[in-house]
Amino acid sequence: MKNKQVTILLFGFLISSWENTLAIEPVSVTKTFVSSQALFANPERGWITHRFSNDLYGINSLRNSAEKLSLVLIKIDISAYKNSSHIGQTKLNEIRTALNSCRQQGLKVIMRSAYAWDSVLAPEPKNIETVKTHIMDMKPIYYEYEDIIIAVEMGMFGPWGEMHSSYFSTTNTQFYYPIKTTALIQVHATYMDALPITRSVLVRTPYYIRQVFSSDKPIEPIEASNNTAKARTGYHNDAYLASSDDAGTFSYGWSRAKELAYINQMTRYAFFGGESFGTPNSKYNNAQNAMLESRQQHMTYLHRDYYTPIYNAWGTSVKEDFTRKLGYRFELKTLSYSKEVAPGGLLAFSLKVQNTGFSAMHLTRPVVLILDNGKTGTARIRYQTILTVDPRSWIPEVNSTSIDRKLRIPANIIQGVWQLLLTLPDSNTRLQSDVRYTVQFANENIWNTDGTLVLTNDISITSSAQGSRTTDNIFQEI
């Protein structure tokens, strides 16, 4: 019995290698996609607006606004708990209600908590342990809403959570002093504990990040995977392009050029966003420099409602360019594929994708390839497979990324003309079937309302096609 099995296995192996060596694979054809300048909302990027957790006015019209918002910064006022060991259930439930509303509206969020939302000196509890407990009080929420919370701004310290003028500042009897390194390190570590491993905390200045990690070096590529603490630490700037040091953002002995080089490296892997500040059309916030530095700093989100005179000075065309380019913007360039394949045969597949946005995608998601018979209702047949590719690697620094694969076509597939579709749904199962969380591409005539992109609709599956074949009834990369 045993010997017989070995013989059958060996025989099968010989046949398949014989087929593979002698078969001439079908020739590939190449099609070119047409790019689109359309403005549309895409997940985890773009213009952002701010709302308090108890007042989400107008959020049902954000996605369809001129600026196509898909992100909201949720501000959490915890001033009432300054003297309490824990944040009250009333506040925690208010936050949950706010996040539920965002989810219903197809939005994602960034959160920031603070003990004062106006100019109050040193508004925090006097014991850092209380601040840390308050962060941990929100930990269950960070998990319950992991699907829509893309990152958390550190906040907690000082008025507006802007991380100055705090009880934990180096000088705490006057405004604008920075936070002590010991306090920074503790609160950062607490966030690393409170947030899901794939989520990051965004810190107000690059100087603070250097203090937390006790290093002048930005994240290295090797540290960018495995969800290291450095990979989970991003940056936000609420005085974006205000002045040579962005109103104190850079004022710790580093020149603007040196800071921008540090930020450029860090934000290849970590989120960067904020709000603009200063006199419109000035040296740094003018349209030309804003475009240049937003690309250099890999900007993912920008506050739409502040400071609007700066954006108005840019003019409609530059504003629209920001609507397109904040974060990632993917465009299909070309597809080379076998036009004829046999059931059980191999489909050659080579797709070129370009990221014309300012930044990489920072949260990963599946890249799904679908073979579809183009029918509707019960007659529809779909085979799908997840490609071994991480869309975070489609970075703006390269003109295009090529995905070259060979795909096994199921042996039992019905012969005929098939479509090849691509889709990038959310990585969280809760949102996977919600098209509002699926990535749209900047191409004409490829987007289906179910969130799939039509790569081609003319693959002929016929037993008369050239090439090797197996009896495996699978659709997957080999």
- Interface ranges with ligand NAG (CB under 6 A): 80, 82-83, 225-226, 399
For ligand NAG, give the closer residue by CB, 5 or 226. Answer: 226
Our CB check for ligand NAG shows the closer of 399 and 402 to be 399
Smallest separation, CB 307 to ligand NAG (Å):
31
User: What whole-number distance in Å separates Cα of residue 164 and Cα of residue 238?
Assistant: 12
Question: How many CB atoms lie under 10 A from the CB of residue 429?
Answer: 9
Q: In the complex with ligand NAG, which residue's Cβ is closer, 106 or 218?
A: 218
Q: What is the chain's Cα-based Rg?
A: 26
- Triad 273, 278, 280: Cα angle to 5°: 105
Q: What is the dihedral of CA 431, 435, 439, 441, to 10 degrees?
A: 170
Query: Considering only CA atoms, which of 377, 369, 330 is closest in space to residue 456?
Result: 369
Q: Which of 12, 11, 16 is nearest to 467 (CA)?
A: 16
Quick check: 68 and 41 in contact, CB under 8 A?
yes
Minimum CB–partner distance for residue 461 and ligand NAG (Å): 35
Residue 276 forms beta bridges with which residues? 240
In the bound state with ligand NAG, the residue whose beta carbon lies nearer, of 381 and 395, is 395
The single-letter code of the amino acid at 219 is: I
Rounded to a whole number of angstroms, the minimum distance from the CB of residue 397 to ligand NAG is 8
Q: How far is the CB of 242 from ligand NAG (least distance, A)?
A: 32
Smaller CB separation from ligand NAG, 46 or 396: 396
Minimum gap (Å) between residue 33 Cβ and ligand NAG: 16
Question: 């490296």: which residue's tokens?
Answer: 265
For residue 399, the minimal CB distance to ligand NAG (Å) is 4
- For 440-472, b/e burial (b = at least 16 CB within 10 A) is bbbbeebbeeebbbbbeeebebeeebebbbbee
Beta carbon nearer to ligand NAG, 223 or 245? 223
To ligand NAG, the closest distance from the beta carbon of 357 in angstroms equals: 15
Nearer to ligand NAG, 127 or 170 (CB): 127
Closer residue to ligand NAG (CB): 37 or 449: 37
**Cα–Cα dist 370/386, whole Å:** 9
**Closer to ligand NAG at the Cβ: 88 or 140?**
88
- Say which residue the tokens 């090849």 belong to: 420
Q: Which long-range contacts (CB under 8 A, 24 or more apart) does 221-229 make?
A: 221/269, 224/268, 224/269, 227/197, 227/198, 229/188, 229/192
Rounded CA gap, 24 and 466, in Å? 6
Question: Least distance (Å) from ligand NAG to the CB of residue 56?
Answer: 24
Nearer to ligand NAG, 43 or 155 (CB): 155
Shortest Å distance, C-beta 219 to ligand NAG: 12
- Owner of token pair 């009897």: 173
**Two tokens, residue 147:** 């699907």
Instruction: Give the residue with the Cβ less far from ligand NAG, 356 or 456.
Output: 356
Cβ 469 to ligand NAG, closest distance in Å?
A: 35
Instruction: Please enumerate in sequence order all residues whose Cβ is within 8 A of that of 88, keeping only pairs 6 or more positions apart, or say none.
Output: 80, 81
Least distance between ligand NAG and beta carbon 85 (Å): 12
List b or e across 274-286, with b for residues whose CB sees 16 or more CB atoms inside 10 angstroms: bbbbbeeeeebbb
